[in-house]
Amino acid sequence: MPDYDIVIRGGRIVTAAEVFTADLAIRGGTIAAIGHDLGKGREEIDATGRLVLPGGIDPHCHIEEVGADGSVQEESFVSGSRAALAGGTTSFICFKPQWRGQTLAQSAPDYETRAARSLADYSFHQVITDPTPKVLATEIPALAARGIRSLKVFLTYDPLRLTDGDFLKVLASARRLGLLVTVHCENFDAIAWQQEALLAAGLTDPVHHAWARPPVVEREATLRAMALAELVDQPLQIFHVSCGEVAEEIARAKARGQKVWAETCTHYLTHGVDDLERPDFEGAKFVCSPALRDRSEAARLWEAIRAGTIDIVSSDHCGFSFATAKKDPGASSYGQGAAMLRPDGTPAFNAIPNGAPGIENRLTVLFSEGVSTGRIDLPTFVRLTSANAAERYGLGGRKGTLMPGADADVVLWDPELERTITVGEMQHAIDYTPWEGYRARGWPVLTIRRGEIVMRDGVLLAQPGSGRFLARGPYAAIAPRGVVPNGFDTVGRGSGQT
């Protein structure tokens, strides 16, 4: 009778704090023991020469999103989660929509049912676009009680964006209930103003997407978001920091003691504005927001990562196939302004759906760029890809860690395996990858999700529906600081509920 379900022997165990050689044993879906000379496993895995990592957590991805018009993103929970597992990510957090004029309950009521088809574990950020008294007083508290403990607000895109007044209401509600607020920071009016002038001048190419939203529009909105969160004394997670000047402002806020955190995304470390200039409309593949920057910005993002200003790398996976959706100005609410077709039938830059796929390549690209080049060490890689997301989003102790009692989400990683990324070998449903032809060094060879081997040598073994919803309880990281201007606690006095 074996002692364990699985024993992984002789690998180098990597945690957020250390690297050491040991065996890891799994029983009943959790990690049972880490040590030497562990008893027998029903399945024995030789991990000599391999790294043993916690399964990745991608806390920012758009999967099977349903638009206000009922349209559904091509990347389904099945294809998106297969891509996640293939790339070594065992959990992700995606976005439950709210559409303006509708309650949370009315907006995509079947979204959680759709998500239940996932092969990976999952949770949700609730998007708030219309914080009515009913949403604030009853729906958000009900959400928190069901374990959805993070909200997402947009400061740009119509009809998603919030005014500053509505943003304050969301921040206040989150503080009252102990939720984290995540935010997309770009200034809507500044972008609209730039767009109008560019379009009037006949500048309609994909690269003009970046001209319409230069770093200053991201910096302004980031500063504003942080200032409003400071006023409310509400912890804040800044999404997808794209450049050094934004990271500098976040570093300043952190130095003042504010509870503000930041992520960047894989594509900002490997791609640049020049990708938007690729011929034959191929630049559209790289239209995402914030926009890709000058290539020199990647070095500044690495500095911010090393300084701890940025401590999560997510994918912002948001796939739109090149042959179809990228050429369809009506395909998504992630565009801005009236749809206009150019003489060749392709949309002007402002109507190209924003986003690129990345959930499958996130770990291998970050490992290649970070660890294989010596920019970061292995524990930092684990912090960026799983451990910090677990702490930040209320999954600590359960996910993002290798220790007895934690979920057995484990990835066997070959640090020397070199492979060329190509879309034909990928699991995602999108018809391209931004990393086509990229020579990666470091690749996942086996993924275990809650004790089940779900990917071996690129072959997916899990069934749709085997992923679980991750309900998240209250957690310490997002407690407010207790610092408000003049000591006058506006939220504590009941303001901001309507």
Residues that bind ligand DUC (CB under 6 A): 62, 184, 288-289, 316, 318, 334, 354-355
* Cα separations in angstroms, 406 against 58, 70, 396, 410, 462: 18, 38, 9, 10, 20
Give the residue with the Cβ less far from ligand DUC, 16 or 359: 359
Residue 346's closest CA among 326, 321, 332, 320?
A: 326
Give the residue with the Cβ less far from ligand DUC, 65 or 391: 65
* Cα separations in angstroms, 455 against 87, 120, 413, 451, 461: 9, 11, 12, 12, 6
CB of 380 to Zn ion, least distance (A): 23
CB of 95 to ligand DUC, least distance (A): 9
Give the residue with the Cβ less far from ligand DUC, 54 or 272: 272
Of Zn ion, ligand DUC, none, which one does residue 75 interact with (CB within 5 to 8 Å by kind)?
none
Decide if 315 contacts 60 (C-beta within 8 A).
Answer: yes
CB of 325 to Zn ion, least distance (A): 16
Cβ-closest residue to Zn ion? 184
CB of 183 to ligand DUC, least distance (A): 10
Of ligand DUC, Zn ion, none, which one does residue 355 interact with (CB within 5 to 8 Å by kind)?
ligand DUC
Decide if 393 contacts 59 (C-beta within 8 A).
Answer: yes
Question: Quick one: 374 exposed, middle or buried, by C-beta within 10 A (0-12, 13-18, 19+)?
Answer: exposed
* Residues forming a β-bridge with 456: 446, 459
CB of 450 to ligand DUC, least distance (A): 29
Decide if 176 contacts 491 (C-beta within 8 A).
Answer: yes
Binding mask 184-213 for Zn ion (x = CB under 5 A): x-----------------------------
Give the residue with the Cβ less far from ligand DUC, 60 or 175: 60
| Cis ω before 290 (30° cut-off from 0) | yes
Distance separating alpha carbons of residues 78 and 369, to the nearest angstrom: 28
* Cα separations in angstroms, 305 against 87, 263, 302: 22, 9, 5
Residue appearing with tokens 């369809």: 328
Of Zn ion, ligand DUC, none, which one does residue 208 interact with (CB within 5 to 8 Å by kind)?
none
Give the residue with the Cβ less far from Zn ion, 184 or 392: 184
Distance separating alpha carbons of residues 28 and 2, to the nearest angstrom: 13
Distance separating alpha carbons of residues 328 and 343, to the nearest angstrom: 14
Decide if 59 contacts 92 (C-beta within 8 A).
Answer: yes
Of Zn ion, ligand DUC, none, which one does residue 427 interact with (CB within 5 to 8 Å by kind)?
none
CB of 240 to ligand DUC, least distance (A): 7
Residue appearing with tokens 């684990």: 382
Q: Identify each DSSP E strand in 55-174 by its residue range.
A: 56-58, 89-96, 121-127, 150-154
CB of 385 to Zn ion, least distance (A): 17
Binding mask 309-348 for Zn ion (x = CB under 5 A): -------x--------------------------------
- The answer to whether 152 contacts Zn ion (rule: CB under 5 A) is no
Of ligand DUC, Zn ion, none, which one does residue 354 interact with (CB within 5 to 8 Å by kind)?
ligand DUC
Largest CA distance in the chain: 76
Give the residue with the Cβ less far from ligand DUC, 288 or 421: 288
CB of 476 to ligand DUC, least distance (A): 29
Give the residue with the Cβ less far from ligand DUC, 54 or 358: 358
Number of chain positions touching Zn ion (CB under 5 A): 2
Residue 469: CB partners within 8 Å, gap ≥ 6? 112, 115, 116, 121, 122, 123, 147
Give the residue with the Cβ less far from ligand DUC, 331 or 455: 331
CB of 42 to ligand DUC, least distance (A): 43
Give the residue with the Cβ less far from Zn ion, 208 or 213: 213
| Start-to-end C-alpha separation, the chain | 62
Of Zn ion, ligand DUC, none, which one does residue 443 interact with (CB within 5 to 8 Å by kind)?
none
CB of 321 to Zn ion, least distance (A): 18
Residue 424: CB partners within 8 Å, gap ≥ 6? none
Decide if 310 contacts 304 (C-beta within 8 A).
Answer: yes
CB of 334 to ligand DUC, least distance (A): 4
* Residues forming a β-bridge with 152: 127, 182
- Report the SS3 class of residue 413: strand
Give the residue with the Cβ less far from ligand DUC, 107 or 289: 289
Give the residue with the Cβ less far from ligand DUC, 15 or 242: 242
**Contacts to Zn ion by CB under 5 A:** 184, 316
